[in-house]
C-alpha cells in the first residue's frame, strides 16, 4: 500500500512540475485544466497466494524487474546482448509479448502509468493471435 502511495505522490509531483512550467511559460491558456488520475487502490486483504496445482493457471507472466535477465527463457529470441528481439512488445516468437520494458512503445512504457497504454496497443495483436 505504501509503495503505491509513494508512486502516486511521485507522479503527482512530476505532473505539478509540468503544469508549473506551462504556467511560467504562458502556456496555460493552450492546455486544459490539470488532469490527475485517482489514487491507486489496494484491497484491504489482498490474496497473497495461488493454488498452482489446481490447473486453473495456464499462463505465467514473469516480471524481471529493473535488470533484465532472460537466462531462464529457452526460446531463440535473444539478440547478441541478451535482450529479447521484439517490435513494440511483439517478440520474434508466436505468443510471446513484452510489457514494462524501457521505451517499449513510448517513453513511459516502464513506468506504472505507462503499461495501460501499451496493453491497449498490444491487445488487438494479442486478440488476433488467440483467434
Q: Which alpha helices (DSSP H) does the chain contain, by range?
A: 2-24, 115-130
| Mean pLDDT for all residues in the chain | 85
Q: Say if residue 40's pLDDT is above 80.
A: yes
- How many angstroms separate the Cα of 122 from the Cα of each of 60, 87, 112? 18, 11, 17
pTM of this prediction exceeds 0.75: no
74 alpha-carbon distance from chain centroid? 23
Tens of pLDDT along 54-99?
877 777 776 655 677 888 899 999 999 888 999 999 998 988 999 8
- How many angstroms separate the Cα of 2 from the Cα of each of 12, 25, 28, 35? 15, 35, 33, 23
Domain edges within the chain: 1-43, 60-131
Residues 6 or more apart from 99 whose CB is under 8 A from it?
A: 61, 89, 115, 118, 119, 122
Amino acid at each position: 500500500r505504501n509503495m503505491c502511495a509513494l508512486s502516486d505522490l511521485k507522479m503527482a509531483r512530476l505532473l505539478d512540475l509540468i503544469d508549473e512550467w506551462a504556467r511560467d511559460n504562458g502556456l496555460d491558456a493552450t492546455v486544459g485544466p490539470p488532469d490527475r488520475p485517482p489514487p491507486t487502490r489496494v484491497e484491504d486483504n489482498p490474496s497473497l497466494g495461488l493454488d498452482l496445482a489446481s490447473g486453473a493457471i495456464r499462463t505465467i507472466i514473469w516480471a524481471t524487474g529493473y535488470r533484465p535477465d532472460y537466462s531462464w527463457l529457452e526460446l531463440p529470441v535473444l539478440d547478441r546482448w541478451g535482450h529479447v528481439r521484439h517490435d513494440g512488445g511483439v517478440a520474434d516468437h508466436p505468443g510471446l509479448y513484452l510489457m514494462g520494458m524501457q521505451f517499449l512503445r513510448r517513453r513511459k512504457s516502464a513506468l506504472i502509468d505507462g503499461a495501460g497504454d501499451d496493453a491497449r496497443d498490444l491487445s488487438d495483436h494479442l486478440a488476433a493471435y488467440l483467434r
